[in-house]
Structure 1
Amino acid sequence: MTERKPRGMPVETWVERQIREAQERGAFDNLPGAGKPLPDLHKPRDEMWWIKQKLDEEGLSADVLLPEPLRLRKEVEGLREAVRPLPTERQVREAVSQLNRRIAEWLRAPSGPPVHVSPVDADDVVRQWREDREGRVVSSTPEPPVKRTRWWRR
Structure 2
Amino acid sequence: MTERKPAGVGFETWVERQIREAQERGEFDDLPGSGKPLSGLGEPHDELWWINEKVRREEGTALPPTLLLRKEAAAAREAAGRARTEEEVRAIIGAINARIVDAIRKPMSGPPLNLMPFDVEHVVARWRER
Counterpart position of 1:141 = none
Counterpart position of 1:123 = 121
Query: SS in structure 1 opposite 2:127?
Result: helix
Q: Which runs of 5+ in 2 are unaligned?
A: none
Q: Which runs of 5+ in 1 are unaligned?
A: 133-154
Counterpart position of 1:136 = none
Residue identity (%): 47
Counterpart position of 1:138 = none
Q: Determine if the alignment matches structure 1 residue 68 to structure 2 residue 89.
A: no
Is the 2:97–2:118 contact (alpha carbons within 8 Å) kept by the matching residues of 1? yes
Larger Rg: 1
Is the 1:69–1:106 contact (alpha carbons within 8 Å) kept by the matching residues of 2? no
Alpha-carbon distance between aligned partners in 1 of 2:60 and 2:35, rounded to the nearest angstrom = 25
Query: Cα–Cα, structure 1 residues 88 and 13, in superposed 2: closer, same or farther, change >3 Å?
Result: same
Structure with greater helix share of residues: 2
Alpha-carbon RMSD across the aligned residues, in angstroms, is: 3.6
TM-score, normalization by structure 1: 0.60
Matches within 5 A, 1:3-152: 3-11=3-11, 13-38=13-38, 40=41, 43-45=44-46, 47-58=47-58, 60=59, 65=63, 68=66, 71-72=69-70, 75=73, 79=77, 81-111=78-108, 112-113=111-112, 115=114, 117-132=115-130
Give the residue type in structure 1 aligned to 2:126.
Q
Residue 20 of structure 1 deviates from its aligned partner by 2.6
Query: Cα–Cα, structure 1 residues 83 and 2, in superposed 2: closer, same or farther, change >3 Å?
Result: same
Equivalent pairs, count: 126
After superposition, the C-alpha distances for 1:18-76 in whole angstroms (9 at most, x for unaligned) are 2232123222121233223345499431x432221113333x269x7466289549936
Give the residue type in structure 1 aligned to 2:22.
A
